[in-house]
Amino acid sequence: MNRNKGVTGPKGFRAAGVAAGIKESGALDLTLVVNDGPNDAAAGVFTTNVVKAAPVLWSQQVIASRRLGAVVLNSGGANACTGPEGFQDTHATAEKVAEVLNIGAIDVAVCSTGLIGERLPMDAVRFGVEKAAKELADTVDAGLNAATGVMTTDSRPKQSWDSHPDGWSVGGFVKGAGMLAPNMATMLSVITTDAVIDGAALDAALRQATSRTFDRLDVDGGTSTNDTVLVLASGASGVTPSAEDFVALLTKVAGDLVKQLQGDAEGVTKEVSIVVRGAATEAEAVHVGRTVAEDNLVKTALFGSDPNWGRIAMALGRADAVIDPDKLGIAINGITLCANGTRAQDRSLADLTGRDIEVVIDLNVGASEATVLTTDLSHAYVEENSAYSS
Amino acid sequence: MNRNKGVTGPKGFRAAGVAAGIKESGALDLTLVVNDGPNDAAAGVFTTNVVKAAPVLWSQQVIASRRLGAVVLNSGGANACTGPEGFQDTHATAEKVAEVLNIGAIDVAVCSTGLIGERLPMDAVRFGVEKAAKELADTVDAGLNAATGVMTTDSRPKQSWDSHPDGWSVGGFVKGAGMLAPNMATMLSVITTDAVIDGAALDAALRQATSRTFDRLDVDGGTSTNDTVLVLASGASGVTPSAEDFVALLTKVAGDLVKQLQGDAEGVTKEVSIVVRGAATEAEAVHVGRTVAEDNLVKTALFGSDPNWGRIAMALGRADAVIDPDKLGIAINGITLCANGTRAQDRSLADLTGRDIEVVIDLNVGASEATVLTTDLSHAYVEENSAYSS
């Protein structure tokens, strides 16, 4: 696992991140990732929010072919709730990328992140695309610039790369997620691989990997209008991995990107893992974990380093799942505070002063398990989401 | 509408609030409300949380007869997640009340609020019941003491009373609700009336009234282990109101109690009304309103007096309801910021600096409407729920 390499880690990819002038700050705000092949298999997963940004509507269409030649991403504007004109802006962005790369617009996915409800400055976007095309490179620096160009309130670029002994690798970058970006609450990720894999297999692998990684990070229940995860396969390694090996490495890299999202969440002071065991089904384990992860009384207690298991019991009692209050067990950082639904060890034994907290909830009604990652609810979260909102 | 009178406003009721020694602070912590009849009709609604406190389990049983002679309530301990022993404590409390009032334990409802997972100090409870029985009175002061005895982090007792021209009235008290009480996140309310009404009609009226009042206040999505609303009818006025008149006055008093809960919510700096119009069904209107009410990014924006309609669009897009993004309208304090799913008037025109904020969401897909009351998410909320949690 190497966090200094990303989308340019696998062979067959070039990338760039430039300052297009979309952000008034002059920071990098446009990223281009190009797949030089020989293959161009691709797959994507998108937000479930019914209010979808124009770039999501566009990218969902172009990914239907399970082929992509390039992905263009911008920060500084989400292009969401912008109507038909906003969709035309996205189309024009893809056309511009197609022009400079001499491919079809249908081969170009578009991602945007930033304020909802504002049109993008298209002159700046077109300028940025031309500038990025000139700076495309397969270097580590180019990958870092690509990861930096999508940042909004992220405190640092987030990349991960890992290789398989057989000679192929997976790399990618990510930005945002839940609390991470208040009115830019978007999570965008582009993952690349030089493995030989067709679009159908890539799509199946991406859904398996994201269901265990991106789908299990819940910082505030938010689902943005722009959330997107794309994976591109160049086949440049010439190696065709087994489905198991590919899913395993893709999941490992995705999981490391998600861990970085959790660690950089806005106002985070605690990195919390909620482990739900003994659930009737894995889906219910995830649902119970998310219900607890989204409870403000639990999140504020964790911010206060308070092992308040009563709030956890109250929170999970709201979940739509098979729960027997008399069988409930709750442990925090290894101390069993609740057993058979009642008080067990004294709460004073649980030390929550560190940054990492593990909550283990045992429903004792089944054999399924899942872990949901979340954060605490801190003063910094309120500050960053109120005082500094647009 | 009179907020200086409560459960002793209607004829046929005596009440008391005493310091039993359950709270170490020595504050009032035990309340007794007695129905002297001639009738003893009663009804109740309880938390939907599957993790139910012992007093809820007890009261759900005794209310099945739709008759109650008295209600005993304590603050300083929720008696939740306390197992069979906790249930025995509740039973013993009812037995003690039955003994001092010379009625059956089956005629006594029990409510508790406080820390989850701790047993109640039963000697103090028994002492408090005897003390309260001696202080029972039908006076305004007795009603105020009763409303005070159930307070936890409430900043003030909350009462409401109103009368009908025909000579009957409805009064009650309430404590808590959502953010109002962190690890004591319980809402308890006892409402009395001297109208002549049977248990079945009273039950139907209570469900109609709470569905439009208590069920539409959502400060943080919390549903406590102890939430309870009880209504007792003495028939002492000798007047039998029409079903319409009774539901109307009961709803009016319940609504005033709920408005006081919103205004006293922990850390509240904004009292927010979320009006959802044009929904396919009233249930969907309520669901959309609650989804927005529970969104931390919306709540922090409101705390910051920021008319960030994009966050509202994002939040409601998660709701499980019929929504057409292209028909969406959003207005804040009278300024239409979003029409047909895109930007309308400039956000700078919306002034959110006051304490009261009205958000009007028009889904434009149907004819149903509902209003959900909520609050903002402030530094004070985080402080009260982290630094001061047990």
Q: Which of B296, B109, B261, B298 is closest to B185 using CA atoms?
A: B261
| pLDDT surpassing 80 at residue A178 | no
Q: Among residues 29-48 of chain A, which lie with CB inside 8 Å of chain B?
A: 48
Q: Looking at chain A, which residues constitute the CATH 3.60.70.12 domain(s)?
A: 13-261
> Is A182 within 8 Å of B297 when comparing Cβ atoms?
yes
> Is A49 within 8 Å of B318 when comparing Cβ atoms?
yes
A271-385: what CATH class? alpha beta
pLDDT at A388: 53
Question: CA angle, A342 as apex, A338 and A346 as ends, to 5°?
Answer: 50
Chosen for mutation from A303, A352, A389, A390 (greatest number of chain B CBs closer than 10 Å) is A389
pLDDT at B216: 87
Q: Among residues 260-289 of chain B, which lie with CB inside 8 Å of chain A?
A: none
Task: Determine contact: A224 vs chain B, CB below 8 A.
Answer: yes
For B341-382, the pLDDT digits (tens) are: 999 999 999 999 999 999 999 999 999 999 999 999 888 888
Task: Determine contact: A117 vs chain B, CB below 8 A.
Answer: yes
The one-letter amino acid code at B127 reads F
What average pLDDT does range B214-227 have in this prediction? 80
pLDDT at B49: 86
- What does the alpha-carbon distance between residue B292 and residue A139 come to, in Å, rounded to a whole number? 44
Task: Determine contact: A74 vs chain B, CB below 8 A.
Answer: no
| pLDDT surpassing 60 at residue A182 | no
CA-based torsion, A236, A239, A243, A244: positive or negative: negative
- What does the alpha-carbon distance between residue A215 and residue A283 come to, in Å, rounded to a whole number? 11
Residue B111's pLDDT band (boundaries 50, 70, 90)?
very high
**Which residues of B are identified as catalytic?**
186
> Is B81 within 8 Å of A381 when comparing Cβ atoms?
no
| pLDDT surpassing 80 at residue A239 | yes
Q: Which of B97, B128, B116 is closest to B21 using CA atoms?
A: B128
> Is A221 within 8 Å of B294 when comparing Cβ atoms?
yes
Task: Determine contact: B309 vs chain A, CB below 8 A.
Answer: yes
What average pLDDT does range A359-376 have in this prediction? 95
Residues in chain B within 8 Å Cβ distance of A309: 117
| pLDDT surpassing 50 at residue A390 | no
| pLDDT surpassing 50 at residue B179 | no
| pLDDT surpassing 90 at residue A215 | no
Residue A98's pLDDT band (boundaries 50, 70, 90)?
very high
B244 contacts B288 by C-beta, under 8 angstroms: no
Q: Which fold has domain B13-261?
A: L-amino peptidase D-ALA esterase/amidase (3.60.70)
The one-letter amino acid code at A72 reads V
For B328-337, the pLDDT digits (tens) are: 999 999 999 9
> Is A313 within 8 Å of B225 when comparing Cβ atoms?
yes
Highest mean pLDDT among A42-51, A257-266, B133-142: B133-142
Helix/strand/coil for A87? helix
> Is B311 within 8 Å of A182 when comparing Cβ atoms?
yes
Task: Determine contact: B222 vs chain A, CB below 8 A.
Answer: yes
Q: Looking at chain A, which residues constitute the CATH 3.10.20.340 domain(s)?
A: 271-385
E strand segments, A87-183: 108-113, 158-164, 168-175
A56 contacts A224 by C-beta, under 8 angstroms: no
H, E, C per residue of A196-214: CCCHHHHHHHHHHHHHHCH
What average pLDDT does range A70-97 have in this prediction? 96
For B42-75, the pLDDT digits (tens) are: 999 998 888 899 999 999 999 999 999 999 999 9
**Which residues of A are identified as catalytic?**
186
A271 contacts A198 by C-beta, under 8 angstroms: no
pLDDT at A318: 87
CB atoms within 10 A of CB A112: 34
> Is B308 within 8 Å of A389 when comparing Cβ atoms?
yes
For B308-321, the pLDDT digits (tens) are: 999 999 899 989 99
Residue A15's pLDDT band (boundaries 50, 70, 90)?
very high
pLDDT at A148: 97
Task: Determine contact: B5 vs chain A, CB below 8 A.
Answer: no
Q: Among residues 329-358 of chain B, which lie with CB inside 8 Å of chain A?
A: 338, 340-343
Residue B53 has phi, psi (to 5 degrees) of -70, 160
| pLDDT surpassing 50 at residue A181 | no
- What does the alpha-carbon distance between residue A270 and residue A148 come to, in Å, rounded to a whole number? 25
Residue A335's pLDDT band (boundaries 50, 70, 90)?
very high
DSSP string, B101-154: HTS-GGGEEEEEES-TT----HHHHHHHHHHHHHH-BSSHHHHHHHHHHT-SS-
User: For the CA atoms of chain B, what is the radius of gyration?
Assistant: 21
Residue A33's pLDDT band (boundaries 50, 70, 90)?
very high
CB atoms within 10 A of CB A165: 6
Provide the percentage of residues in chain B whose pLDDT is more than 90: 81
The one-letter amino acid code at A127 reads F
Could you give the ipTM of this predicted complex?
0.84
Provide the percentage of residues in chain A whose pLDDT is more than 70: 96
Pairing of the two strands A342-343 and A335-339: antiparallel
pLDDT at B388: 54
Nearest to A377 among B52, B315, B382 (CB): B382
Task: Determine contact: A306 vs chain B, CB below 8 A.
Answer: yes
Task: Kindly tell me the burial class for residue A1, based on how many C-beta atoms sit within 10 Å of its own C-beta (0-12, 13-18, 19 or more).
Answer: exposed
Q: Left (φ > 0), alpha (ψ -120 to 50) or beta: where does A343 sit?
A: beta
Side-chain half-sphere of B333: how many Cα atoms within 13 Å? 19
Residues in chain A within 8 Å Cβ distance of B332: none
Residue owning tokens 């009849």: B37
Sheet holding A356-362, edge to edge: A342-343, A335-339, A329-332, A356-362, A271-279, A368-375
Residue B180's pLDDT band (boundaries 50, 70, 90)?
very low
- Mean pLDDT of the residues in chain A: 93
What average pLDDT does range B257-277 have in this prediction? 92
- What does the alpha-carbon distance between residue A338 and residue A182 come to, in Å, rounded to a whole number? 35
Residues in chain B within 8 Å Cβ distance of A308: 183, 389-390
Chosen for mutation from B288, B297, B322, B364 (greatest number of chain A CBs closer than 10 Å) is B297
pLDDT at A220: 73
Pairing of the two strands B188-193 and B228-233: parallel
Provide the percentage of residues in chain B whose pLDDT is more than 70: 96
Highest mean pLDDT among A294-303, B89-98, B256-265: B89-98
pLDDT at B143: 98
Residues in chain A within 8 Å Cβ distance of B304: 385-387, 389
Residue owning tokens 């009016």: B252
CA trace torsion A83, A84, A90, A92 (10° rounding): -150
B260 contacts B41 by C-beta, under 8 angstroms: no
What element of type H or E holds B315? helix B309-316
What average pLDDT does range B242-250 have in this prediction? 98
pTM: 0.86
pLDDT at A381: 82
- What does the alpha-carbon distance between residue B205 and residue B228 come to, in Å, rounded to a whole number? 16
